[in-house]
Amino acid sequence: MIDVVVAGAAGRMGSRIVALLRETEDLRLAAALERPGHPALGRDAGEVAGVGHANVPITAEVEAALGQGRVLVEFTTPEASLEHLRLVAAGGGRAVIGTTGFAKAQLAEIEILARRVPVLLSPNMSVGVNLAFRLLAQMAGVLGDDYDVEITEIHHRGKKDAPSGTALRMAEVIAQALGRDLGKVAVYGRQGMPGERTRSEIGIQALRAGDVVGEHTVVFGGLGERLELTHRAHSRDTFARGALRAVRFIASAAPGLYSMQDVLGLK
């Protein structure tokens, strides 16, 4: 039995992970975390998730919840995730992090902490999206510089970071396959008179509306044809199930920094 600690247990993703843990035989909800002052503190995590009593109250006592051998699952904020990961590393635990929006310095610290404990970091836990990463690398490699690359993504109005971590990862995969430096060729939206599109740029556009779970489209536009790859998430359960698959992987992994590509054997 693998003991799981869910951070952000009352949030969109956290509550779905709590709910789906009830359906597993090899994973157990050991603790549920929320930020200090959150209205769900003290309530039962299962009841908050809408799946009945789980006998696990939501708490803000992070250090007490994280123990050796336990797997932390994070879909919160970069600051909270990094703070929790420091405690995981100090206590000999393990972590699956789906949080997005990390700054470069924060990612560098995660890499250092992963030398001490197993950490899985992925901007998207969906099996379909991670297969798309592999396909995009192949598509970009074959199509080459003759095709313009544009990425659009749309999420619900409550999403705080833009572009999404998934869109950025798609852009990174494509840029690497084309031998480009994303920091130099990325274009985030256009306005006014930006001039003619350059051959090397990779466009990334973010839309926010309603309750959209997540949709990403990559367009390869050539002269006379256009090739598109689209992934649409209809439910957050696709991310939650992927996260539980990641938990099973990281529970027996050696210290290091992993991704969903490792979980799915796509590397």
**What pLDDT is recorded for position 266?**
80
- Cα–Cα distance for residue pair 212/234, rounded to 1 Å: 8
Enumerate residues 6+ apart whose C-beta is below 8 A from 199: 145, 148
Q: What 3-state class would DSSP assign to 86?
A: helix
pLDDT value at position 213?
Answer: 93
Centroid of chain to Cα 230: 18
Region of residue 224 (left: phi > 0; alpha: psi -120 to 50; beta: else):
left
Q: Are strands 71-74 and 2-7 parallel, antiparallel or unpaired?
A: parallel
> What is the full per-residue pLDDT of the chain (267 aa) written as tens digits?
999 999 999 999 999 999 999 999 999 999 999 999 999 999 999 999 999 999 999 999 999 999 888 999 999 999 999 999 999 999 999 999 999 889 999 999 999 999 999 999 998 899 999 999 999 999 999 999 999 999 999 999 999 899 999 999 999 999 999 999 999 999 999 999 999 999 999 999 999 999 999 999 999 999 999 999 999 999 989 999 999 999 999 999 999 999 999 999 887
Q: What single letter denotes the amino acid at residue 151?
A: I
pLDDT, position 43: 98
Task: Kindly report the pTM of this predicted structure.
Answer: 0.81
CATH fold match for the domains 2-121+236-263 and 127-233: no
Which option is the CATH number for 127-233: 3.40.50.11810, 3.30.360.10, 1.10.3720.10, 3.20.20.70?
Answer: 3.30.360.10
* Contact (Cβ atoms closer than 8 angstroms) between residue 119 and residue 97: yes
The DSSP 8-state label assigned to residue 103 in this structure reads -
The domain locations on the chain are: 2-121+236-263, 127-233
User: How many whole angstroms separate alpha carbon 267 and alpha carbon 264?
Assistant: 8
Respond yes or no on whether the N-terminal peptide bond of residue 39 is cis (omega within 30° of 0): no
Name the CATH topology of 2-121+236-263: Rossmann fold (3.40.50)
Cβ within 8 Å of residue 25, ≥6 positions away: none
As annotated, the active-site residues are: 155, 159
